[in-house]
Structure 1
Amino acid sequence: MKSLEKAADRLSQGLALIGSIGLLAMLVHVTLDVALRNFADTPIPATNEIVSRYYMVLIVFLPLAWVERQRTMITVEVMEMLLTPTGRRISDGAVALLATVIYAAIGWVTWAVALKNLSIGTFVDVLGHKVAVWPSYFLPTLGFFLAAAMTALRLVIIIAGPSAPAQEGAET
């Protein structure tokens, strides 16, 4: 179980890193576009399309697994203090199960959309040039399925129950 958790940690951190690199690339791309447009009157073609169809999608969806692994998704714990430890564990398990099902369902739907866009070769026309955007439809699918995997792992950990070394490592 420990090696699975370490692999999940590495995977989620890698995805967060890719999202961070995407954010940095978007920053550089937009900055260059604005500078070139204002100083040389030659903007970078398709900047709006690339930013909205690739960078933003990458930044939003790929790090979902990292957010779930870190347990930093928004939570509401109004009744949490009233529950016993067993009740909290049942509640956490139910939330993890529900999140897994929802992420997987959304992943399945976005997979169908991605395949449709792949088959028709979705593109946008920018000044007479075709810019392929069909690959960007696979990013949400990947993000949702990996987030589902992280919440499923959380459910397995909850069901397995806490072990003494795992609890000490999680709190530090």
Structure 2
Amino acid sequence: MEMIGRLLARTINVTTWVGMIAILLMMVQITVDVAGKFLFNTPIPATISMVSSYYMVIAAFVPLALVETRNGHITVEVLTEFFPMRTQYHLYSWTYLLSAGVFGALAYRSWGEAGKAQNSGTFMVEHGIKIITWPSYYLLPIGAGLMTVVLVYRWLVYVTGAKSGLGESPTIG
């Protein structure tokens, strides 16, 4: 089980690097675009399309699993904060399974939408340039799918009591 967690952690590290590189490329492209626009009256074509269809989608959805391993997602504790710590631990652990169902459904449904976008050849036109955008539709199901795998793994670690290899941040319990 721990070996699976380490493999999953490596996969998450790769997706995190992809997200960081996308943010870096986005910053560079926007900076060059703005400089080109105001200094030389020549903006970079397709900047808005690239930023909105690729960079932002990568930055938002691909690193979801990393945030989960760091317990960084928003939680609302209306009643649970009054429960004993052990009860909170069990409740949070079972939410992994519930959340995996939600993210799994999101991954499944968005994969279907990505296929439709690919089949129709979805694109945007900016400054008379055709930018193919259908590949970006696959980024959401990839991010949600990896998040699903992490959640199911964390639930299995909870149920079996096995040692996790994800390198998670400490949780309640």
Post-superposition shift, 1:8? 1.6
Structure 2: 5+ residue runs without aligned partners? Answer: none
* Secondary structure of 2:74 counterpart: coil
Instruction: Report matched runs for 1:51-130 at 5 Å.
Output: 51-78=51-78, 79-83=80-84, 85=86, 87-130=87-130
Contact 1:104 1:148 in 2 (8 A): yes
Q: How many residues align?
A: 167
Aligned twin of 1:41: 41
Gaps of 5+ in 1: none
In structure 2, how many angstroms separate the alpha carbons of the residues matched to 1:40 and 1:80? 58
C-alpha distance 80-129 of structure 1, shift in aligned 2 (>3 A): same
8 Å contact from structure 2 (residues 70, 169) kept in 1: no
Asked whether 1:144 is paired with 2:141, we answer no
TM-score by length of 1: 0.89
Q: Which letter does structure 1 place at the counterpart of 2:108?
A: W
- Per-residue deviation, 1:83: 2.7
Partner of residue 157, structure 2: 157
Q: Is the 8 A contact 1:123 1:132 kept in 2?
A: yes
| C-alpha distance in 2 between matches for 1:73 and 1:51 | 24
Larger displacement relative to structure 2 (40-49 or 11-20): 11-20
Q: In the aligned structure 1, how far is the partner of 2:71 from the partner of 2:122?
A: 35
Aligned in 2, Cα 1:162/1:154: closer, same or farther, shift over 3 Å? same
Larger relative contact order (Cα-Cα within 8 Å, sequence gap ≥ 6) = 2
**Is the 2:69–2:169 contact (alpha carbons within 8 Å) kept by the matching residues of 1?**
no
Q: Percent of counterpart pairs with the same letter?
A: 33
- Pairwise CA distance, 1:144: 0.4
More helix by share: 1
Measured on the aligned residues, the alpha-carbon RMSD in Å equals 1.9
